[in-house]
């Protein structure tokens, strides 16, 4: 494996425990023969690996559904998340096992709320440093601002356009950002470090980082120009083989790829939908890997898969936004340096808010919130009248129409044909009258738009059949006689009958004016809450070919900016019949 100048710079910067010389090694040193009896087997070394994924710069406790965790089969939830609370829970988990270290399965930055995104996610990198993260797999959203910006996140330095607006200077991540399947197209050399080695309790653990091969499908082409993304299994096997040759037999994978789950998914259930990519990769990759920390799909699960040799290994994901944190407890034989697989224990833990926030991380959060406050008054659009959540008799909301249209416009590159959003995610009206900030009548500020869409849900485009599309619309009506009316883009129209029985209310379903074919497939954009089956819309969880998009707030503000003097849409997408 050849070593690029980038890798040498990263090694020189003291990133992780990886010694760059090991990349060129071809054999491990063999031990000599023993002429005397073996001593009694020493006790296994206990090592705890603590992981999380898809933080997405959520420094403050996330709100709404994005800040809750389902804790029982009845759908009961608890509030969870917040970087300072996450740091406290990590400290508690570390205090329980002497030999512990922290990892991330990617998307720690990108698609972030205002207080992190405004500063190009420097506050979040600072928070991860303060939490003691030792390694992170690169996610697709780490590429949102391009490869060069990702390298700045790793190596530090001021932003080329905005300068040093949060830290002066910004020193970068104190941990390696890993991508074993990310290479430079021009010479096939590694674009990121493929692995790091962490020494804990006198034993070495190899940590392999992988992102989804489909990154080009979810990131704008300009952001990843000059990069290639290879097959996940092949990259894991190749890197694992190199670690094995270096004598590193205890190995874990941080993989930014995940599966969908049935709803509700509990923190330690294994309710993944069959046929998902992460479970398939974990089942196919070399048996040398002892555990998988995964991400990307924002789902909570704690599963065990059989490796190709028939041995079990955990595959665990901690939802998103810092609401859960995972622990995988390994017992490592100090003589063989390998994990005693049968003794591995994996758990997801809820990041509750009934603990004292970590003061170091809280100070970073407070600084980011204070400095970002002026942005709240920035103009993002103009409207001609109030655009409200007040529904028509059919259940159609003017503001719901606007948001669904915005989400469709933001995901057309994913092949989206329609967009559907949940009414519970629309938290305030857009009012024509100016506020006390003095922006003037008809002006929509960023702060006002944020109040409408405050949850930082991630847009996801999935494939549904026409039959599934009708089925999910039928789920709007509940057995108790109540209804939760989804808001839809202008490309989707249908009628529903008040007198028809639940499960058979929808008729006249059309996409772009063409009757829906039950057997045909349609690309549908929803937020990640709905994609997981939230609000009881479980059919969404059956969607396939998931492609990520921007956060819903970004989609909304971009639409407002592109459509000045926006008027409330006239109803007509949903028609109520007797």
- Give the tens place of pLDDT for each residue, 463-497: 999 999 999 999 999 887 889 999 999 999 999 99
* Neighbouring C-alpha atoms within 13 Å toward the C-beta of 552: 31
Which of 383-392, 406-415, 534-543 bottoms out in mean pLDDT, i.e. has the lowest?
534-543
At 415 the pLDDT is 97
Residue 290 or 12, more confident: 290
Helix (H, G, I), strand (E, B) or coil at 405: helix
> Does residue 38 have a pLDDT over 70?
no
Same structural domain, 287 and 407: no
Same structural domain, 278 and 420: no
- Compute φ and ψ for 328, nearest 5 degrees: -125, 115
Asked whether residue 249 is assigned to any structural domain, the reply reads yes
At 418 the pLDDT is 98
CATH number of the domain bearing residue 415: 3.90.780.10
- Give the tens place of pLDDT for each residue, 293-318: 999 999 999 999 999 999 999 999 99
Instruction: Give me 38's structure tokens.
Output: 């073996």
- CA 138, 144, 148, 153 dihedral sign is negative
> Does residue 446 have a pLDDT over 50?
yes
Residue 210, CA distances (Å) to 238, 285, 292, 327, 418 in order: 12, 12, 10, 19, 32
> Does residue 243 have a pLDDT over 50?
yes
Same structural domain, 358 and 396: no
Peptide bond into 264 cis (omega under 30): yes
At 536 the pLDDT is 86
Q: How far apart are CA 207 and CA 198, in angstroms?
A: 7
How many domains does the chain divide into?
A: 2
Where does residue 95 fall: left (phi above 0), alpha (psi -120 to 50 degrees), or beta otherwise? Answer: alpha
Where does residue 511 fall: left (phi above 0), alpha (psi -120 to 50 degrees), or beta otherwise? Answer: beta
> Does residue 63 have a pLDDT over 90?
no
Q: What is the pTM of this model?
A: 0.75
Q: How far apart are CA 273 and CA 15, in angstroms?
A: 37
At 218 the pLDDT is 72
Same structural domain, 64 and 177: yes
List residues bridging with 430 in a β-sheet.
Answer: 387
Q: Dihedral of the CA atoms 78, 83, 86, 92 (nearest 10)?
A: -140
Q: DSSP assignment, residue 490?
A: T
Same structural domain, 93 and 211: yes
Same structural domain, 305 and 354: yes
Same structural domain, 364 and 411: no
At 282 the pLDDT is 98
Instruction: Give me 437's structure tokens.
Output: 């900030």
At 10 the pLDDT is 60
Provide, rounded to the nearest whole percent, the portion of the chain with pLDDT above 90: 76
At 20 the pLDDT is 38
At 5 the pLDDT is 54
Which of 235-239, 253-257, 455-459 bottoms out in mean pLDDT, i.e. has the lowest?
455-459
Average pLDDT, the chain: 91
Which of 34-48, 62-76, 86-100, 524-538 bottoms out in mean pLDDT, i.e. has the lowest?
34-48
Residue 372 or 49, more confident: 49
Asked whether residue 544 is assigned to any structural domain, the reply reads yes
Asked whether residue 399 is assigned to any structural domain, the reply reads yes
Same structural domain, 335 and 463: no
pLDDT (average), residues 340-361: 98
- Cα angle 79, 401, 560; round to 5: 85
Give the confidence band of 4 by pLDDT, cuts at 50, 70, 90: low
Give the confidence band of 172 by pLDDT, cuts at 50, 70, 90: very high
% helix, strand, coil for the chain, step of 5: 30, 25, 45
Same structural domain, 136 and 227: yes
Q: Which of 203, 147, 204 is nearest to 179 (CA)?
A: 147
> Does residue 50 have a pLDDT over 50?
yes
At 118 the pLDDT is 86
Contact 269, 429 (CB under 8 A): no
Q: How far apart are CA 125 and CA 172, in angstroms?
A: 7
- Give the tens place of pLDDT for each residue, 88-143: 999 999 999 999 999 999 999 988 877 888 899 999 999 999 999 999 999 998 99
**Tokens 């379903």 identify what position?**
509
Asked whether residue 35 is assigned to any structural domain, the reply reads no
Of the three residues 305, 337, 368, the one that is the final residue of a domain is 368
Of the three residues 313, 335, 368, the one that is the final residue of a domain is 368
- Give the tens place of pLDDT for each residue, 188-207: 999 999 999 999 999 999 99
Those residues whose C-beta lies under 8 Å from the C-beta of residue 460, and which sit 6 or more positions away, are 525, 526, 527, 528, 531, 546, 547, 548, 549
Same structural domain, 408 and 446: yes
Rounded to 10°, the helix 359-372/83-96 angle is: 170
At 36 the pLDDT is 62
Contact 541, 463 (CB under 8 A): no
> Does residue 17 have a pLDDT over 80?
no
- CA 256, 299, 330, 232 dihedral sign is negative
Of the three residues 349, 368, 387, the one that is the final residue of a domain is 368
Asked whether residue 140 is assigned to any structural domain, the reply reads yes
> Does residue 444 have a pLDDT over 50?
yes
Q: How far apart are CA 193 and CA 19, in angstroms?
A: 11
Asked whether residue 358 is assigned to any structural domain, the reply reads yes
Asked whether residue 444 is assigned to any structural domain, the reply reads yes
Give the confidence band of 7 by pLDDT, cuts at 50, 70, 90: low
> Does residue 44 have a pLDDT over 90?
yes
At 16 the pLDDT is 40
Q: Dihedral of the CA atoms 160, 116, 529, 107 (nearest 10)?
A: 50
CATH number of the domain bearing residue 48: 3.60.21.10
Same structural domain, 141 and 166: yes
Contact 143, 395 (CB under 8 A): no
Q: How far apart are CA 181 and CA 186, in angstroms?
A: 15
Same structural domain, 287 and 190: yes
Q: Dihedral of the CA atoms 122, 125, 131, 134 (nearest 10)?
A: -160
**Tokens 């829970």 identify what position?**
89
Q: Which domain holds residue 530?
A: 378-577
At 115 the pLDDT is 87
> Does residue 383 have a pLDDT over 70?
yes
Asked whether residue 17 is assigned to any structural domain, the reply reads no
């Amino acid at each position: 494996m050849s070593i690029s100048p980038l890798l040498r710079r990263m090694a020189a910067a003291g990133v992780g425990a990886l010694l760059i010389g090991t990349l060129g090694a071809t054999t491990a040193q063999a031990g000599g023969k023993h002429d005397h009896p073996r001593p009694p087997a020493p006790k296994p070394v206990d090592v705890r690996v603590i992981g999380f994924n898809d933080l997405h710069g959520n420094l403050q406790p996330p709100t709404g559904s994005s800040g809750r965790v389902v804790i029982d089969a009845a759908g009961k939830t608890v509030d969870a998340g917040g970087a300072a609370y996450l740091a406290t829970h990590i400290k508690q988990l570390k205090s329980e096992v002497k030999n512990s270290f922290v990892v991330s399965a990617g998307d720690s930055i990108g698609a972030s709320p205002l207080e992190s995104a405004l500063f190009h996610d420097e506050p979040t990198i600072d928070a991860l440093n303060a939490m003691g993260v030792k390694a992170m797999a690169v996610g697709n959203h780490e590429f949102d601002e391009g490869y060069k910006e990702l390298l700045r996140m790793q190596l530090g330095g001021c932003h080329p356009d905005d300068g040093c607006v949060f830290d002066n200077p910004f020193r970068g991540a104190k941990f390696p950002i890993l991508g074993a399947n990310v290479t430079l197209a021009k010479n096939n050399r590694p674009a990121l470090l493929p692995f790091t080695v962490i020494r804990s309790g006198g034993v070495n653990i190899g940590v392999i980082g992988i992102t989804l091969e489909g990154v080009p499908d979810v990131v704008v082409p300009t952001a990843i120009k000059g990069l290639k993304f290879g097959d996940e299994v092949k990259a894991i096997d190749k890197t694992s083989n190199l670690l094995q040759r270096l004598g590193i037999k205890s190995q874990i994978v941080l993989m930014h790829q995940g599966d969908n789950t049935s709803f509700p998914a509990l923190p330690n259930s294994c309710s993944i939908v069959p046929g998902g990519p992460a479970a398939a990769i974990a089942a196919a990759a070399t048996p040398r890997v002892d555990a998988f920390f995964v991400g990307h799909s924002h789902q909570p699960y704690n599963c065990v898969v059989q490796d190709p040799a028939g041995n079990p290994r955990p595959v665990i994901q901690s939802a998103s936004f810092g609401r859960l944190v995972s622990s995988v407890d390994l017992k490592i034989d100090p003589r063989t340096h390998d994990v005693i697989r049968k003794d591995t224990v994996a758990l997801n833990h809820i990041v509750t808010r009934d603990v004292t926030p970590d003061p170091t991380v809280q100070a970073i959060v407070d600084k980011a919130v204070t400095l970002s406050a002026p942005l709240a008054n920035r103009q993002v659009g103009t409207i001609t009248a109030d655009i409200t959540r007040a529904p028509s008799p059919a259940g159609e909301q003017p503001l719901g129409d606007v948001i669904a249209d915005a989400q469709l416009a933001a995901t057309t590159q994913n092949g989206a044909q329609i967009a559907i959003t949940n009414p519970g995610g629309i938290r305030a009206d857009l009012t024509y009258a100016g506020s006390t900030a003095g922006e003037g009548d008809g002006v929509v500020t960023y702060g006002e738009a944020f109040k409408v869409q405050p949850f930082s849900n991630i847009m996801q485009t999935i494939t549904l059949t026409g039959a599934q599309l009708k089925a999910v619309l039928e789920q709007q009506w509940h057995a108790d006689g109540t209804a939760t009316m989804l808001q839809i883009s202008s490309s989707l129209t249908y009628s529903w009958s008040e007198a028809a029985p639940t499960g058979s209310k929808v008729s006249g379903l059309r996409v772009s004016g063409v009757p829906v074919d039950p057997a045909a497939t349609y690309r549908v954009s929803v937020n990640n809450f709905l994609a997981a089956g939230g609000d009881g819309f479980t059919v969404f969880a059956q969607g396939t070919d998931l492609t990520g998009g921007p956060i819903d707030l970004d989609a909304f503000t971009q639409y407002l900016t592109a459509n000045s003097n926006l008027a409330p849409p006239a109803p007509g997408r949903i028609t109520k019949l007797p």
